[in-house]
């Protein structure tokens, strides 16, 4: 699993940044059921953060049913793929592509989505 990044200056706690990124990778199918996540120590070392921070993110992912942790196999993505989300993922990708084409950065895109969610 590559691509997890943390911003130590962000007001969002680091464990939450990890949790949301992993959940997002699962939601869009970049991480499939049965895929192993890196060991807590490995990911913590790679990101330059404390092991407990990664462990908290993994615990929260497990509590929400996104992953399952086992002693011998480590932490793996839970469940079965949900093909019903394919069209939704394509729509979200199209939204992001259009927003970026219109000059919005990631933060502005998220602000826009949050505003729409609040409006609903």
Which residue pairs from 81-87 have beta carbons closer than 8 angstroms and sit at least 24 positions apart in sequence? Answer: 81/29, 81/32, 81/33, 85/27, 85/29, 86/29
**Reported pTM:** 0.73
Total number of domains in the chain: 2
Residues 62, 101, single domain; the answer is no
pLDDT, tens digit, for every residue of 16-58? 999 999 999 998 888 999 999 999 999 999 999 999 999 999 9
Residues 65, 31, single domain; the answer is yes
Q: Is 4 exposed, middle or buried (0-12, 13-18, 19+ CB in 10 A)?
A: middle
Residues 21, 45, single domain; the answer is yes
**Is residue 6 in a domain?**
no
**Is residue 54 in a domain?**
yes
**Is residue 3 in a domain?**
no
pLDDT, tens digit, for every residue of 100-112? 999 999 999 999 9
Residue span of the structural domain in which 87 resides: 83-119
């Amino acid at each position: 699993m590559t691509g997890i990044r943390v911003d130590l200056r962000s007001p969002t706690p680091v464990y939450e940044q990890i949790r949301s990124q992993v959940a997002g990778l699962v939601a869009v199918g970049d991480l499939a059921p049965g895929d192993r996540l890196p060991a807590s120590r490995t990911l913590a070392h790679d990101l330059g953060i404390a092991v407990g921070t990664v462990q908290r993110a993994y615990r929260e992912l497990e509590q929400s049913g996104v992953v399952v942790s086992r002693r011998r196999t480590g932490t793996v993505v839970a469940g079965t793929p949900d093909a019903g989300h394919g069209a939704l993922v394509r729509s979200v990708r199209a939204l992001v592509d259009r927003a970026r084409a219109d000059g919005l950065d990631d933060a502005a895109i998220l602000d826009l989505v949050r505003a729409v969610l609040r409006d609903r």
